[in-house]
């Protein structure tokens, strides 16, 4: 079977599976809705209650899971390809810590309170971007982005931000702690359609932009010197990858909070499915990440219904378990690739 035909078949299967998970996410929850009611609601012929549940809650939530899961997974693939390190993920650069610190400043000190309902996501995004700029600046020497320094600076900045977050929480009022803790555990309950549209738009546009970097990413797998010998502008490519990954992570974190393990585990799963060629890996990882987060959200909403688990708890348990299993399989004689 030709390579492109095999890629097309794999993507088709992924799209079908993703559609099935999306349908389950819309139909299942604390209140089950039959598929025919979903179709009727989309056609404007369902009852007012069904339309409120399906159009007002379920579909926006599934769409946000698609955008955030795909975006975080895509950022993970870009960073792992850029750093040539399978343990790098979007949060390694301290972006999530910066977003959490921005939110804490918003809650505890009233920074950005004039924005109303947009204060939380705006503060998270500003904090994430400020951290990204700091890491980029400290990791750049003589106009060159030093890969090793960026990782070390990102990890240290993440620790500093986490310590400052705990300091703010210790000084904050008791009534403010709930908002901080709830956001840091992640949530896909985003009622504002504007933010949902932004998350979807940024994720899809970033996927298209990342695809244009697929060939340079393949070249970087040979090392920076090898990529340069193939005619790749290494420094420009690294800057574009860093900016794109930081923007994706900042938008996802500001809208949905801190949702871990998606950007770390899903790229490994995608590589097992389609290999290491970024021309197919980028799209496959995006679809896998979207499906993974949709499925985790479905579990979070149904496993202890009518209560709901924080989505970050489910992704942490599922992603960590899956990662340990894949690591064990690769180390065992029968599981080596």
Least confident interval from 176-190, 220-234, 245-259, 278-292: 176-190
- Please tell me the predicted confidence (pLDDT) of residue 112: 59
Q: Domain 3-335's class? A: mainly alpha
Query: What is the Cα 327 distance to its own chain's centre?
Result: 22
Report how far residue 76's alpha carbon sits from residue 80's, in angstroms, rounded to the nearest whole number.
6
Residue/partner pairs of 216-220 with CB below 8 Å, 24 or more apart: 217/78, 217/81, 217/82, 217/241, 217/278, 218/277, 218/278, 218/279, 220/81, 220/82, 220/84
Report how far residue 313's alpha carbon sits from residue 109's, in angstroms, rounded to the nearest whole number.
28
Specify the higher pLDDT residue, 228 or 180: 228
Q: Is the pLDDT of residue 1 over 70?
A: no
Report how far residue 297's alpha carbon sits from residue 301's, in angstroms, rounded to the nearest whole number.
6
Q: What is the dihedral of CA 79, 83, 89, 92, to 10 degrees?
A: -120
What mean pLDDT do residues 116-140 have? 85
How would you class 173 by CB atoms within 10 Å of its CB: exposed for 0-12, middle for 13-18, buried for 19 or more?
exposed
Overall pTM > 0.95: no
CA dist 181 → 174, 185, 248, 252, 269 (Å): 11, 6, 23, 17, 30
The model's pLDDT over 260-312, given as tens digits with 9 standing for 90+, comes to 889 999 999 999 889 999 999 999 999 999 999 999 999 999 888 788 888 98
The model's pLDDT over 68-89, given as tens digits with 9 standing for 90+, comes to 999 999 999 999 999 988 888 8
Q: Which residue's entry shows tokens 């970097």? A: 213
The model's pLDDT over 160-170, given as tens digits with 9 standing for 90+, comes to 988 988 888 88
- Please tell me the predicted confidence (pLDDT) of residue 330: 66
When pLDDT is cut at 50, 70 and 90, the band that residue 337 belongs to is very low
């Amino acid at each position: 079977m030709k390579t492109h035909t095999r890629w097309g078949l794999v993507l088709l299967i992924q799209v079908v599976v993703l559609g099935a998970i999306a349908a389950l996410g819309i139909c299942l929850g604390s209140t089950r809705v039959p598929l025919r009611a979903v179709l009727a609601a989309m056609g404007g012929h369902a009852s007012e209650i069904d339309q409120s549940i399906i159009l007002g809650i379920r579909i926006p939530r599934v769409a946000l899971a698609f955008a955030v899961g795909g975006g975080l997974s895509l950022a993970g693939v870009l960073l792992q390809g850029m750093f040539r390190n399978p343990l790098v993920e979007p949060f390694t650069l301290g972006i999530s810590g910066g977003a959490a610190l921005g939110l804490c400043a918003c809650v505890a000190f009233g920074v950005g309170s004039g924005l109303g309902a947009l204060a939380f996501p705006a503060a998270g995004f500003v904090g994430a971007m400020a951290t990204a700029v700091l890491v980029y600046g400290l990791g750049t020497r003589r106009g060159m982005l030093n890969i090793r320094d960026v990782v070390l600076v990102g990890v240290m900045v993440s620790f500093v931000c986490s310590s400052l977050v705990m300091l703010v929480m210790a000084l904050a009022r008791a009534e403010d702690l709930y908002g901080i803790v709830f956001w840091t555990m992640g949530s896909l309950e985003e009622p504002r359609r504007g933010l949902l549209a932004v998350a979807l738009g940024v994720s899809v546009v970033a996927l298209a932009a990342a695809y244009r970097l697929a060939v340079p990413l393949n070249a970087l797998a040979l090392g920076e010197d090898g990529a340069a010998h193939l005619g790749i502008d290494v420094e420009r490519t690294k800057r574009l990858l860093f900016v794109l990954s930081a923007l994706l992570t900042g938008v996802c974190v500001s809208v949905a909070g801190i949702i871990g393990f998606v950007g770390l585990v899903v790229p490994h799963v995608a590589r097992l499915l389609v290999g290491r060629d970024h021309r197919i890996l980028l799209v496959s990882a995006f679809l896998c990440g979207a499906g993974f987060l949709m499925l985790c959200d479905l579990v979070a909403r149904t496993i202890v219904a009518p209560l709901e688990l924080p989505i970050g708890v489910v992704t942490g348990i599922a992603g960590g378990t899956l990662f340990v299993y894949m690591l064990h399989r690769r180390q065992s004689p029968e599981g080596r690739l």
